[in-house]
Each structure stands twice: as C-alpha cells, then as structure tokens.
Amino acid sequence: MIQGCIDGNRQMQQMLYDTYASKMYGVCLRYAGNMDDANDILQEGFIKVFRNLEKFRSEGSFEGWIRRIFVNTAIEHYRKKVKSFQVTDIEDHNIEDTALDVLDSLAAKDIMNIVNELSPGYKAVFNMHVIEGFSHKEIASMLGITEGTSKSQLARAKSVLKKLVETRLKQTK
Amino acid sequence: MQNFKNKLHDFEAHPPKETWAKISSELDNEKVIQLPGIRRRSRLLFYGLTAAASLLILLIVNVFNNSTTVPSNDKAAMVSSTQPAVNNNDSVNQNKQLLENIINTPASQKLLASNFQKNNGNQKKYITVAGPEGQPVKISPKVATLILSADNQYPPKPIWNEKIDEWQQIMLNNTTSASPAGLMDLMQSASGM
C-alpha cells in the first residue's frame, strides 16, 4: 500500500486515508481550536504524508510516523494562529498528575470536550507533554518558548482542567 | 499511564466526507503542475538542443571550408611549391649543424689546423707556367685556378668563361713575359689589345 501511494496510485492513497483518517482526526481535534482548524490540519497533514512517504524508513511504526507528522502540522498551525504566547508564569509548577485522575472516570468524548475548553496555549503544552510525551525542552524548541514557560503553561493547564472536571462532576451530580 | 491519557491518545473521530475529495483534488493539482520536473526537463531539452545546434553549425562550417579550398591538383602544386622551401631551409640548417659538428670535433679541428699550417708554410704567391713559346709566366694561384676551371669543366662558370677564354688566348699568343703583378698585368694586356 505504501509503495502504491508513493507511485501515486490514487486507490492506494484513499485506502491509506481511510485507515488512518479517524485516528488522525482525533489528533487534530485535540490540538485545534475548532472543527474548521481540525479539518485544515487533517487535510494538510495527509498531503504531507503523501509527499513524504518515500522518506519513511520501515524501522519504526508507520502509524507513529504519521502521527508525528500530524502533531507537527498541528503545532505549525497553532504557531501560525497564535503569534505570541500569553505568558502567565505561576509559582507552583508541581501540580500532581493525580489531580487529573478524576478524568479517568469520564468518557473519551467528555475528556476531549473538557480539554478543548483550555486556551490554545495550555492545550498545546498539555497535549504535547501529557499525551505525546514530549519533554519541556522539546516543547520549548517546537513552540519557540522557554522551558520555564512550557512548565508554567502545563501547570496552569492542569489547574484549569481540574477545576473544569470538578465543575462538570458537580453538574452531573 | 493514566487511563484518560490512553483515552485521549486513542481518541478517534470521523472526519467530514468531503475531506478526501479535497485532498485528492490537491494531489491532482500537484500532479498537473509539477513545475520543478517540467523545468528540469525543459532545461535538459534546452541544453540538448544547444549541443545539437552547435554540432550542426560545426558540420556546416567544415563542409563549407572543404568546398572552398583549392582543388586537389592545385593543392598538390601548392604543396610542391612550398614544400621545397621548407625542405631547403631544413637541409641548410641540417648542413650547418653537420658542419659545425664536424668542425667542433677534436679530430677535425686538428686536421683543419694542420691543413692551415701546411698551406701557410707552402704558400706560393705566384705560379710559374710555361708560355706559348716556352717562356716562364708567373700568375697568381687564383687566376691559375680560374684558367684551369674554364676548360668547359663542371661546374660551369658562364659569367667568367668568356673572359677567361680571352685571357687564355692572350696568354697563349702573348710573347712577352707577364710581370709579377699577375692578374693586373693580364687585365692591362687584355684591355690594351
């Protein structure tokens, strides 16, 4: 299928799209501020995938390679939209991950809705660090910010998320 | 990893149906445009055509030159007229070189030196020859050489022959003995007659 896509076989390309579109759209929704942005990222991401497919080395997982392209595309998109971070350094960078355990009880769609309530800056750092596993150094490099800013944005994101979850849980009770 | 992380990581959603159509049309546009490829191809075509045109021009010039050059007979004549001059120059140079080599060799130098010494030692200012009536006549060696070489021998000396013949006749008919002045006396005798 990969070779077919490299050769420009449209059927093969559609097959690849059908296989990964839903997963990658999930990635796009996590990073994008709205559906339109998510659609743009999805479209742009697949174009990049087809353009760069011949560069793929079969050393790692193909899905991981595609996912990385989509994350990078989402970050680029984010950087274009948000020219400057609204930096609000906070003292406490060490908000425990256990504070977010309450999210475990929620369905994936609800978690997504809560995460999407975060501001773009918080959401980007949260996704990159908590979900993708990037270090603050990597995040700082990719977003063009300092490590300290990345840490404080993450702490802020967690704090906001915790409050949002608590509010949501109170509403459901 | 916390559960919510997995849930977020694996979160899937169906994209709008028209997304693939947009991607497909964008890929089609890329296929049609492909500017770099076209440029590369057109550049190659340009270089190829330039090379072909250059070759053609060279070929035409070559053919034109061949057609305007002298015919083979004339060419041969030209060669024959110019070639000896070149050959002559070459042979003169070669002779000079050869002569210099001979002269400069120690053995030849000794021979030349001994000949010079011999000639200087036995140098005769005048040669005494018998006149028509048996009287002795002194003439210089140069004149004697000229007289001797005037007997229609090879190589011919057309300029001098007549004069020398005249001198020969004078010498043969002359009853007076020539003075030691040699050639000048002969000249005077000839002019007086």
The proportion of chain B whose per-residue pLDDT surpasses 70, expressed as a percent, equals 38
The reply to whether B150 falls in a domain is yes
For chain A, domain boundaries: 2-81, 97-172
User: For position B54, what pLDDT does the model report?
Assistant: 92
Q: How far apart are CA A64 and CA A2, in angstroms?
A: 15
Long-range Cβ pairs for the range A163-166 (8 Å, 24+):
A164/A114, A164/A117, A165/A100, A165/A102, A165/A103, A165/A106, A165/A114, A166/A102
Architecture in CATH for domain A97-172: Orthogonal Bundle (1.10)
The reply to whether B152 falls in a domain is yes
* Owning domain of residue B143: 123-192
pLDDT digits (tens, 9 = 90+) for A108-146: 888 888 888 888 888 899 999 988 889 999 999 888 889
Q: Are A39 and B16 a contacting pair at CB < 8 A?
A: yes
How confident is the model over A71-76, as a mean pLDDT? 91
The reply to whether B147 falls in a domain is yes
Query: In chain A, which among 29-88 make CB contacts under 8 A with chain B?
Result: 29-30, 39, 42-43, 46-47, 50-51
B-chain residues near A29 (CB < 8 A): 11, 13
User: For position A59, what pLDDT does the model report?
Assistant: 75
- According to DSSP, the residues that pair with B129 across neighbouring strands are B137
Asked whether residue A70 carries a pLDDT value surpassing 60, the answer given is: yes
Number of separate domains in chain B:
1
Q: Are B26 and A43 a contacting pair at CB < 8 A?
A: yes
Cβ neighbors of B75 (< 8 A, separation 6 or more) are B69
- Which of B3, B10, B15 is the closest to A21 by Cβ? B15
The reply to whether B182 falls in a domain is yes
Q: Are A131 and B22 a contacting pair at CB < 8 A?
A: no
Tell me how crowded residue A20 is: count the other CB atoms within 10 A of its CB: 20
- Which of B8, B26, B27 is the closest to A131 by Cβ? B8
Phi, psi of B127 (to 5 degrees): -115, 135
Higher-pLDDT residue of A25, A34: A25
User: For position B139, what pLDDT does the model report?
Assistant: 73
The reply to whether B128 falls in a domain is yes
Q: How far apart are CA A99 and CA A172, in angstroms?
A: 19
Per CATH, the number for A2-81 is 1.10.1740.10
pTM above 0.90, yes or no: no
Q: How far apart are CA B152 and CA B165, in angstroms?
A: 10
User: For position B79, what pLDDT does the model report?
Assistant: 47
How confident is the model over B24-43, as a mean pLDDT? 67
The reply to whether B127 falls in a domain is yes
Q: How far apart are CA A136 and CA A150, in angstroms?
A: 6
The reply to whether B154 falls in a domain is yes
In the 8-state DSSP scheme, what is residue B138? E
- Reported ipTM: the value is 0.81
Q: Are B23 and A22 a contacting pair at CB < 8 A?
A: no
Could you tell me which chain A residue has the CA closest to the CA of B4? A104
Angle ∠(A81,A82,A83) on CA atoms, nearest 5? 105
Asked whether residue B56 carries a pLDDT value surpassing 70, the answer given is: yes
User: For position B150, what pLDDT does the model report?
Assistant: 56
The reply to whether B144 falls in a domain is yes
In the 8-state DSSP scheme, what is residue A106? S
User: For position A43, what pLDDT does the model report?
Assistant: 92
Phi, psi of A145 (to 5 degrees): -130, 175
